[in-house]
Amino acid sequence: MRRLGAKRAVIAAATLILAGGCGSGGRLRVQDRPPRPVEEIDVIGLRMTPPAPVNWDERPGADGLQVQVNFFRQDEDLSVTVTGCLELALYEGKLRPEQIASSRPMRTWRFDGVELSTYCGKSAFGWGYAMRLPWGGHLPAGANATLGSRYTSPRGRVVAGRPIIVPLGPR
């Protein structure tokens, strides 16, 4: 019972940090070097930066998403770096978390621990990962899409992040 309360506190803190609040009143300082990577995490913080699809070429239309991913543990104050694999999946439409397991993604990006480390960088949330997710020639249909995230530890434990809705605009 006590562990469940601690997990809720970590989720609440991560949500406040990712929603734009300072979380700690500025008392926490992000170190100049990334923290030693960990295998296990409790929460995935996923957000789009900027909060809309991005155009990376000279042709009209969005080419994909730019995202920031932070991982949190209940025993750490700032986000942590990881050794496991991250999978990001884009689904057509606006899906609830319980619908994702039974839905087929239109596009999936997978980053193993070594590849993920190349995207590591420092931000106001701590150390995390910033990456581009191009969708190639398969532009999502409709006004919205859903981006899901899953982290798999080296031991096989899976942590699913809260999905985010991607506004695509009118079609």
pTM for the whole structure: 0.81
Q: Which residues of 35-64 are buried (b: 16+ CB within 10 A; e: fewer)?
A: eebbebbbbbbbbbeeeebeeeeeeeebbb
User: What's the pLDDT score for residue 126?
Assistant: 87
CB 133 within 8 A of CB 109: yes
Question: One-letter amino acid identity for 170?
Answer: P
CATH architecture of 2-167: Sandwich (2.60)
Over residues 23-67, the pLDDT tens digits come to 445 567 788 888 899 999 999 999 999 988 999 998 888 899 999
